[in-house]
Amino acid sequence: MQPKKYHNPKIALLNVELELKAENDNAEIKVHTVEDYQVIVDAEWNILYDKFEKIHHSGAKVFLSKLSIGDVVTQYFTDRDMFCAGRVPEEDLKRTMKARRGPNQTCVIALKADVLGRCQVFEETQIGGEGYNFFRGCPKAKTCTNILCGGAKKFTEKTAISDDAIMIVRRAIKNDSVAVGGGTTEMELSKYLQDYSRTIPGKQELPIGAYDKALEIIPRQLCDNVGFDATNILNKLWARHAKGACAYRVDINNKDIADDFEAFVWEPLRCADQCRDCSL
């Protein structure tokens, strides 16, 4: 049985297939004696065991591979107090490679201790019906992992919505420009375009009017999402913005409109631009 926990282990990430199988399906070898056949079989096993020994002698205690590994390698490493796993998703390998120190290897010929990654604690833990491998204390880790558990999938899906809030905070840190939210910017742009379209004669005002109507989709959708009367709310917003109160938005808490500057409702400018692009 493979150990479940290691302290200060060396980690090997490989893109190597360690499984005994036919090298070529369309090859043909003619042998005349049983001894000749045994030499071929022994050579195949020696090639495989040579890879095992290079990984073991490198000092690695945890071995992860993107490709498949067979039962032979699992038993070999288990007997030598090592943990191994095959068919690890590429995204997981990339995250592990960034968190620990050391590159991803594509062969075992030059596998030495100086190219292996490290962490303070490696542990395999069962959470619910799934098994998870935890790398704690990685030297270059700048991230954390959140595991959501619930009685049914629909509950965890609701909790996963918090990822939207985390991404908003991330974008706010990366982009120092902000805009007022709640449909405020879109209503003010819509008002400006409507006033501008009236100064253009002929059919040229039609595309500007269409653009103006498209911007109303965002505050209207906000009202629909919370069950408000969108027509009533938009009429109130139009009246306020027409009087120069450019900071009024949809207030989902009071089922009315409110001033963004007083409520401190902001969003990253990048998110606001993306919402407008999607609405158009």
pLDDT digits (tens, 9 = 90+) for 233-262: 888 888 888 888 888 888 888 888 888 777
Mean pLDDT computed over every residue of the chain: 81
Task: State the pLDDT at residue 102.
Answer: 66
The answer on pLDDT for 147 being more than 80 is no
Gap between the Cα atoms of 216 and 195, Å rounded:
15
Task: State the pLDDT at residue 24.
Answer: 63
Task: State the pLDDT at residue 23.
Answer: 61
The answer on pLDDT for 95 being more than 80 is yes
Task: State the pLDDT at residue 45.
Answer: 84
**171-279: what CATH class?**
mainly alpha
5-147 has which fold?
A: GroEL (3.50.7)
The answer on pLDDT for 3 being more than 70 is no
Short-list 163, 63, 143, CA closest to 95: 143
Residues 28-85: pLDDT tens digits?
Answer: 778 888 888 888 888 888 888 888 888 888 888 888 888 888 788 888 888 888 888 8
For residue 268, what are the CA distances in angstroms to 126, 158, 208, 245, 248? Answer: 39, 24, 26, 21, 18
CB burial of 14-48 (b: ≥16 within 10 Å; e: otherwise) equals: bebebeeeeeeeeeeeeeeeeeeeeeeeeeeeeeb
Bigger pLDDT: 198 or 279?
198
Bigger pLDDT: 26 or 220?
220
Q: Is the pTM of this model over 0.85?
A: no
The answer on pLDDT for 22 being more than 70 is no
The answer on pLDDT for 146 being more than 80 is no
The answer on pLDDT for 116 being more than 80 is yes
Residues 121-143: pLDDT tens digits?
Answer: 888 888 877 788 888 888 777 77
Tokens of 186: 């879109």
Mean per-residue pLDDT, 212-216: 82
Task: State the pLDDT at residue 207.
Answer: 83
Task: State the pLDDT at residue 134.
Answer: 87
Q: Where are the domains of the chain?
A: 5-147, 171-279
Q: How far, rounded to the nearest angstrom, does the alpha carbon of residue 267 sit from its chain's CA centroid? A: 22
Indicate the residue type of 106: T
Residues 150-197: pLDDT tens digits?
Answer: 777 777 777 777 777 788 788 778 877 877 777 788 888 888 888 888
Mean per-residue pLDDT, 187-209: 83
Are the CB atoms for 226 and 204 separated by under 8 Å? no
